[in-house]
Amino acid sequence: MISFHNEGGIMYRFIFLLFLSFQTNAADFVHPYPSFSEGEKLYTFPDFLNAHYYISYDSENKSASIKAEISFKTEEEGYPLFDLKENPTRVELDGKEIETPLVDSPKKETKFRVMNQLTSIGVHTLRVEVPLKFLLRYTDKGVDSAFWLADLDDRSFLENYIPSSFENDSVEMIFDVSFKISADQQIFANGEIERTGDRDFRITFPKEYTSSSVYYHTTPLGSFNERRFEIKSKVSGKVIPVIVYSKTISNFNSYEESIRQTMDELEADYGPYLHSSFIVYDADLSRWGLGGMEYCGATVTNLWAVQHELFHSFFGRGVMAANGNSGWIDEALASWRDGGYFSNQNMRERRALVLDFPYVKKTNRLAYSYGKNFISFLDGNTKMPIEMKLFMKSLYQKKSWTPITTEDLIVELDLFSGNSYQQLFDEYVYGNKSTLDASELWIEPNSSEHSIHRKISGEDLYKIL
Ligand SMILES: [Zn+2]
């Protein structure tokens, strides 16, 4: 690491620029969000380098708390933004206590927390203390707690629980989890879990993870039926451990068969599975007509949607979305697979999948229907022929673990096909932005359209905790 506090000679600046350009190309901060100003203040988006979260559960007080230590880098002087829904009890920036009020994005599509301290270019340390209140329940057996995420709601990724960066920013994350609880707890998480003490665990997540990647669920030992099995990849030879757990299912044969078949299909079509395991929480969501939610190598779902969710470990949580305006890509691709990869030569409708809200966090629901139709039109368009499945294979091999934007998709389509897709995207993806408003994002799918990602409410999540 190069120190940013030295005197700036020419040679130093040269090294500094090299360092910056290397950093820009690295996967950890591919698409910095643009800073914005309000009055005299410039609000900036820092690059989180690593984040260490200490999560403590206390059954006597029936409470839980988070202490976070985050190292981040800023490349502009200003007021750095992050997000955290719950009000923190104490925040320190470089050892000095600061306030972190909420600020609106310029078009009010979301809110951020701001470190209310003019912050110089360089590396800084943020410490945050905050209670954990959401999705927490104590019983006589222990504690149920989960950091479940949602991509159809605003501010519902990790910021719903812990201080977090954004979907464009890969961060090295560690959870140190300790239980002041007499009974034993188990943890389901898509990171490496080690037992570090009698009631202490450390979870180390892959460094490519962003605010929409982490799966974390703890529950008293023995609360669930489960099946563990292994899939040996026919493509890479890698052994992929799979866990399926459920309260309502005890025979997991259909699950195992579906996951094995789908893994073989997707690896044959797109290439080797990226993640070190696949975790499935069967939450019996179909009772409420819900499908599920995807994570990197994990999902909360039910049997009829598990194929769709495993697809997301390739697109969505393999090739990742850099922001809410690119969330439509993986839902359109997943829905296109669900519908049997059909081709269409025509596209009658013209809607907007990308809206003029640069900081939007949630996915446009038109992705499942209109977005799917647009992908089938790309595949069937005789004026600009492209085999979309082959293109997807190339995209997966090139952009795995990388957050992408809609603009990246256009560049990759152009490179793959030799055509120019900008005009087609202007017409069918960007639409006429000036006539649209934020309400476009809240369109409910028709009942005839599948509801794999129908919005899950906080109350629903407590039911499945
Ligand atoms: Zn989906």
Q: How far does residue 295's CA lie from ligand 1's centre (Å)?
A: 10
Question: Is residue 210 situated within a structural domain?
Answer: yes
Ligand 1 centre to CA of 179 (Å) is: 34
Same-domain status, 353 and 372? yes
Round the CA-based radius of gyration of the chain to a whole number and report it. Answer: 22
Give 184's Cβ-side CA count (13 Å radius): 6
Distance 178 CA to ligand 1 centre (A): 33
Q: How far is the CA of 333 from the centre of ligand 1 (A)?
A: 9
Interacting residues of 210 by C-beta distance below 8 A, sequence separation 6+: 165, 166, 167, 168, 169, 170, 171, 320, 403
- Residue 79, in any domain of the structure: yes
Q: For the chain, what is the domain count?
A: 3
Residues 216 and 239 in one domain: no
Considering the entire predicted model, what is its pTM?
Answer: 0.90
Q: How far is the CA of 222 from the centre of ligand 1 (A)?
A: 30
Domain-located, residue 452: no
Determine the distance separating the centroid of ligand 1 and the alpha carbon of 157, expressed in angstroms.
Answer: 15
> Measured in angstroms, how far is the CA atom of residue 20 from the centroid of ligand 1?
35
Span from the CA of 121 to the centroid of ligand 1 (angstroms): 38
CA of 253 to the centre of ligand 1 (A): 23
- Which tens digit of pLDDT belongs to each residue from 90-141? 999 999 999 999 999 999 999 999 999 999 999 999 999 999 999 999 999 9
Calculate how far, in angstroms, residue 81's C-alpha sits from the geometric centre of ligand 1. 28
57 shares its domain with 175: yes
In terms of DSSP bridges, do strands 47-58 and 172-180 run parallel, antiparallel, or are they unpaired?
Answer: parallel
Residue 6 lies in a domain: no
CA 453–ligand 1 middle distance (angstroms): 6
Where residue 425 sits, what CATH number does that domain have? 1.10.390
Q: How far is the CA of 94 from the centre of ligand 1 (A)?
A: 40
Q: Residues 99, 215: one domain?
A: yes
| Residue 170: per-residue pLDDT | 96
Distance 292 CA to ligand 1 centre (A): 8
Q: What are phi and psi of 142, to 5 degrees?
A: 160, -140
CA 131, 132, 134, 140 torsion-angle sign:
negative
Q: How far is the CA of 290 from the centre of ligand 1 (A)?
A: 11
CA of 456 to the centre of ligand 1 (A): 13
Q: Compute the residue count for the chain.
A: 465
User: Looking at the domain assignment, is residue 252 inside a domain?
Assistant: yes
HEC profile for the chain? CCCCCCCCCHHHHHHHHHHHHHHHHCCCECCCCCCEEECCEEEECCEEEEEEEEEEEECCCCEEEEEEEEEEEECCCEEEEEECCCCCCEEEECCEECCCCEEECCCCCCEEEECCCCECCEEEEEEEEEECCCCEEECCCCEEEECCCCCCCCCCCHHHCCCECCCCECCEEEEEEEEECCCCEEEEECCEEEEEECCEEEEECCCCCCCCCCCEEEEECCCCEEEEEEEECCCCCCEEEEEEEECCCCCCHHHHHHHHHHHHHHHHHHCCCCCCCEEEEECCHHHHCCCCEEECCEEEECHHHHHHHHHHCCEEECEEECCHHHHHHHHHHHHHHHCCCCCCCCCCCCCCCCCCCCCCCCCCHHHHCHHHHHHHHHHHCCCCCCCHHHHHHHHHHHHCCCEECHHHHHHHHHHHHCCCCHHHHHHHHHCCHHHCCHHHHHCCCCCCCCCCCCCCCHHHHHHHC
- Residue 188 in any domain: the answer is yes
Residues 194 and 152 in one domain: yes
Ligand 1 centroid to Cα of residue 228, in Å, is 24
In this structure, is residue 194 part of a structural domain? Answer: yes
Q: How far is the CA of 332 from the centre of ligand 1 (A)?
A: 8
Do 277 and 325 share a domain, yes or no? no
pLDDT reported for residue 46: 97
End-of-domain residue from the set 171, 190, 220: 220
Q: How far is the CA of 127 from the centre of ligand 1 (A)?
A: 34
Ligand 1 centroid to 338 CA: how many Å?
10
Calculate how far, in angstroms, residue 418's C-alpha sits from the geometric centre of ligand 1. 29
Pairing state between β 111-114 and 122-131: unpaired
pLDDT of residue 453: 58
The CATH number of the domain where 306 resides is what?
Answer: 3.30.2010.30
Residue-wise pLDDT for 231-281, tens only, equals 999 999 999 999 999 999 989 999 999 999 999 999 999 999 999 999 999
The answer to whether 210 and 171 are in contact (CB under 8 A) is yes
263 C-alpha to center of ligand 1: Å? Answer: 16
Q: Which domain holds residue 242?
A: 225-313
Q: How far is the CA of 308 from the centre of ligand 1 (A)?
A: 6
Q: Are residues 50 and 178 in the same domain?
A: yes
Q: How far is CA 255 from CA 87, 108, 225, in A?
A: 40, 42, 13
Q: Domain of 72: which CATH number? A: 2.60.40.1730
Q: 249 and 209: one domain?
A: no
303 falls within a domain: yes
Asked whether residue 177 falls in the same domain as residue 267, the answer is: no
Residues whose CB is less than 8 angstroms from the CB of residue 407 and which lie 6 or more positions away in sequence, other chains included = none
User: What separation in Å is there between the alpha carbon of 100 and the centre of ligand 1?
Assistant: 33
Question: How many Å lie between the centroid of ligand 1 and the Cα of residue 140?
Answer: 36
How close is the Cα of 303 to the center of ligand 1, in Å?
Answer: 14
Instruction: Starting at the earlier edge strand, list the strands of the sheet with 319-321.
Output: 315-316, 319-321, 403-404
Distance 276 CA to ligand 1 centre (A): 21
Residues 45 and 176 in one domain: yes
Q: 263 and 154 in one domain?
A: no
What stretches in the chain show pLDDT beneath 50?
1-27, 434-450
- Residues flanking ion ligand 1, Cβ below 5 Å: 331, 334, 453
Q: Evaluate the CA torsion angle 333, 339, 340, 345 in order and state its sign.
A: negative
Do 187 and 41 lie in one domain? The reply is: yes
